[in-house]
Structure 1
Amino acid sequence: MVDRKLWFVWGGIFTDSTWRELEAGSEECHGPYHDLETAERIWRDEMRRRVDTAQHRLFVIETPRPGG
Structure 2
Amino acid sequence: MIEHQIWVVWGGVFTDTSFTELEAGSEELHGPFHDDQAALRAWRDETRRKVDLATHRLFILWARPSGSVR
TM-score normalized with structure 1 length: 0.89
For residue 17 of structure 1, report the CA deviation from its aligned partner.
1.4
Q: What is residue 5 of structure 1 aligned with on the other side?
A: 5
Q: What is residue 60 of structure 1 aligned with on the other side?
A: 60
Q: What is residue 40 of structure 2 aligned with on the other side?
A: 40
Count residues with an aligned counterpart.
68
SS of equivalent residue, structure 2 residue 11: strand
More deviation in 8-17 or 57-66? 57-66
Encode CA deviations 1:30-60: one digit per residue, 9 max, x unaligned: 0100000000000000001111111000000
Q: Which runs of 4+ in 1 moved over 3 A?
A: 65-68
CA–CA distance in structure 1, aligned partners of residues 58 and 2 of structure 2? 27
CA–CA distance in structure 2, aligned partners of residues 66 and 28 of structure 1? 25
What's the % identity of the aligned pairs?
Answer: 56
For residue 67 of structure 1, report the CA deviation from its aligned partner.
4.7
Which consecutive residues of structure 1, in runs of 5 or more, have no partner in the other structure? none
SS of equivalent residue, structure 1 residue 29: strand
CA–CA distance in structure 1, aligned partners of residues 30 and 50 of structure 2? 15
Partner letter of residue 50 of structure 2? R
